[in-house]
Structure 1
Amino acid sequence: MTVKLSDIADQAGVSVMTVSNVMNGKHARVSKATIDRVLEIAERLGYVPNIPARSLAASRSHIVAALVPVGEEGSLLFSPHTVAVIGGVERHLRHRGYHVLLRGIERDDEIAQTIRGWSLDGAILVEFTDAQIDRIRIDGVPLVAIDSYSANPRTIGVRTDDHRGGWLAGACLAEAGHRRVMFAGPPYEGMGVVGQRWDGFRAACVAAGVDASKIVREEVLTSFEDGRALGLRLLRDHPDVTAVFATADVLAVGIMAGVAEAGGSVPGDLSVIGFDALDISGYTTPGLTTVAQDMDAKVAEVARIILDEIERGEGPRAPVSLGVRLIERGSVAAPRR
């Protein structure tokens, strides 16, 4: 026999509306004791929510997509940062009664197709370039773009203060005495995430007296293997460089591995700073000095904005920029040469 909300309400001694609020994650006006009692009874009775019926009644699908760009015939191979973002957002939305659809996007037109085809309540854009976001022409559906500097009024950007993060890295290396430094990050156009980090890094180095001509840039994809490949040749190809700022922890860890494999040491032969402060930054020997972004605050803000847009229809708002801080470990030291 199908268990209904009224069955749970009768046993819990509360209204059907209260049971509905509990089952849909709306706990603001319900006591913890009541929540626990309703959930216990629902589990004991074997209650299974009718998702299509709930969506039809509310004129919502209760589905939010996490869209990630992939190449043709590519797979969803995420960076550790993207895993942390999607995992954190899914947790917040799940607790509010929403489901997250993970979808790879090969072509720009697939964004609109996915939103309309799945009757999505909203979408979160992860790892899209600003140029891709600029081209989006979808109205009527909330769109939150993570780490975006796009001026597209159809999207709301949630990002870290990347310029400040680059500045902290440059200032740290300059204060340690480094005067020949490298910036390692992926190719970019305009002043998006990587451009902001480069600009802040360069500005801090120059302000500390580093000759701008001594700041080397290496374009490298954000992966461990690409970082390792750079690390294997870095000391040979750039014998004067004594420190590197990598735009992501996974890239920095790869560089450290490559340097060690080539017979060098960190920080003896090369100082390294990463960006993100993900768990992997604490697993290396020595520990990776890194620019920390507040990932918990970031995913909470993304979830808050998308839910406010869906449930309250607040409309477009200004982009949100979150602060950063430097975590100093053992990968930075004064140069030996």
Structure 2
Amino acid sequence: MTVRLSDIADAAGVSVMTVSNVMNGKRARVSESTIARVQEIADRLGYVPNIQARSLKASRSHIVAALVPVREESSLLFSPHTVAVIGGIEQHLRHRGYHVLLRGIEQEGDIAQAIRGWSLDGAVLVEFADSEIDRIAVDGIPLVALDSYSANPRTIGVRTDDHRGGWLAGAALTGAGHRRLLFAGPPYEGMGVVGQRFEGFRSAVVAAGLDADSIAVERVLTSFEDGRELGLRLREDHPEATAVFATADVLAIGIMAGLAERGVRVPEELSIIGFDDLEISGYTRPALTTIAQDLRAKVAEAARIVLEEIEGGEGPRSPVTLGVELVERGTVAPPRRA
């Protein structure tokens, strides 16, 4: 038997309009207790919304795309950071009655094609370079770009204070006495996330009285295996380095694995700081010192903004920047040599 909104309303003792608002994500004027009661009754009765009918009535598809770049035939979910972001987006949108279309983007022009090719209400862009976002020329669909410093007026940026994060890493390492430092991350020319982290790191190093030239740089992709390969050759390529700042935890953990294979002890022989504070960072041995970003808050803010824009926002706004903090664990110690 088909369960109707009126069935739920009768069981909950509220109006059909209230039930409709809850089911369609329009909950601003509905109390939390009523939302919980309506949702519990709907679940118990086995209510299944008629997505097609709802979309026709509202002129919406209730579909939001999560677009992720795919490089060199790799899976779009190879990174723990990406998995956490996509999972959070899906959770927030599902609770508001929306569906998430997950799509890997192999070529730059595919972003606009993917947005235009589906009946989307909005899209969240995850881990794209600013240069790719700069060239998006799609109007009429809310677009939220995570970790973006693009000035494209068609997108709304939600990001972490990457400059501050880099500064905290540099201050922690120089404060521990390190003078020969290595920065490891993707190419940072053109600024963006990695560029901001590098500039913050360099600022802290200079503020500590060191020459910016004391920072060696390794341009390496953000993956465990690329980090491991760097760890395997790090002592040969950078024998003077006493500490490393890696722009992502997964990269830092890979570097630690490569160093371990070479018999290099962390932090006794080399200190290392990551960035993200992924759950796995607490499981390494030693546990990884890292720059923590509030990933849950960032994802929640992205979901909130895209839904607000879909449901009547007033267009582009200033980027949202969330704070960071240093989480000290076990991978930083004073150097054996200054």
TM-score normalised to the size of structure 2?
0.95
Q: CA deviation at 1:301?
A: 1.2
Amino acid in structure 1 at the alignment position of 2:133: I
Q: Which residue of 1 aligns with 2:143?
A: 143
- Give CA deviations for 1:311-334 in whole Å, capped at 9, x if unaligned: 123200011111111111110000
Q: Distance in 1 between matches of 2:185 and 2:127?
A: 14
Q: Which residue of 1 aligns with 2:4?
A: 4
Q: Which residue of 1 aligns with 2:227?
A: 227
SS of the residue aligned with 1:300? helix
Q: Which residue of 2 aligns with 1:82?
A: 82
SS of the residue aligned with 2:330? coil
Q: Which residue of 2 aligns with 1:330?
A: 330
Q: Distance in 2 between matches of 1:176 and 1:270?
A: 12
Worse-superposed segment, 208-217 or 248-257: 208-217
Contact 1:70-1:106 within 8 A present in 2 as well: yes
Structure 2 CA distance for partners of 1:31 and 1:206, relative to 1, 3 Å = closer
Amino acid in structure 2 at the alignment position of 1:254: G
- Residue 38 (structure 2) pairs with residue 38 (structure 1): yes
Contact 1:131-1:150 within 8 A present in 2 as well: yes
- Residue 62 (structure 2) pairs with residue 62 (structure 1): yes
Q: CA deviation at 1:33?
A: 4.5
Q: CA deviation at 1:336?
A: 0.8
Q: Distance in 2 between matches of 1:66 and 1:225?
A: 25
Q: CA deviation at 1:304?
A: 1.4
Q: Size of the alignment, in residue pairs?
A: 337
Instruction: Please show how residues 237-316 of structure 1 align to structure 2 within 5 Å.
Output: 237-316=237-316
Amino acid in structure 1 at the alignment position of 2:248: A
Worse-superposed segment, 78-87 or 59-68: 78-87
Amino acid in structure 2 at the alignment position of 1:241: A
- Give CA deviations for 1:230-276 in whole Å, capped at 9, x if unaligned: 11111222111100000000000111111111011000110000001
- Give CA deviations for 1:10-57 in whole Å, capped at 9, x if unaligned: 333321111112222434433445434433433343321101111111
Contact 2:77-2:83 within 8 A present in 1 as well: no
Any stretches of 5+ residues in structure 2 without a counterpart? none
Structure 2 CA distance for partners of 1:37 and 1:172, relative to 1, 3 Å = closer
Structure 2 CA distance for partners of 1:203 and 1:11, relative to 1, 3 Å = closer
Worse-superposed segment, 63-72 or 222-231: 63-72
Q: Distance in 2 between matches of 1:104 and 1:87?
A: 15
Contact 1:249-1:277 within 8 A present in 2 as well: yes
Q: CA deviation at 1:278?
A: 0.9
**Percent of matched pairs sharing the same residue:** 79
Q: Which residue of 1 aligns with 2:193?
A: 193
Worse-superposed segment, 86-95 or 265-274: 86-95
- Give CA deviations for 1:147-204 in whole Å, capped at 9, x if unaligned: 1111111111111111111111111100100000100001233111111111111111
Amino acid in structure 2 at the alignment position of 1:122: G
Worse-superposed segment, 169-178 or 110-119: 110-119
Structure 2 CA distance for partners of 1:285 and 1:218, relative to 1, 3 Å = same
- Residue 155 (structure 2) pairs with residue 160 (structure 1): no
Worse-superposed segment, 250-259 or 207-216: 207-216
Q: Which residue of 1 aligns with 2:170?
A: 170
Q: CA deviation at 1:281?
A: 1.1
Structure 2 CA distance for partners of 1:209 and 1:36, relative to 1, 3 Å = closer
Q: Distance in 2 between matches of 1:44 and 1:151?
A: 47
Amino acid in structure 1 at the alignment position of 2:242: T
TM-score normalised to the size of structure 1?
0.95
Structure 2 CA distance for partners of 1:215 and 1:315, relative to 1, 3 Å = same
SS of the residue aligned with 1:291? strand
- Residue 115 (structure 2) pairs with residue 115 (structure 1): yes
Any stretches of 5+ residues in structure 1 without a counterpart? none
Q: Distance in 1 between matches of 2:71 and 2:231?
A: 26
Q: Which residue of 2 aligns with 1:26?
A: 26
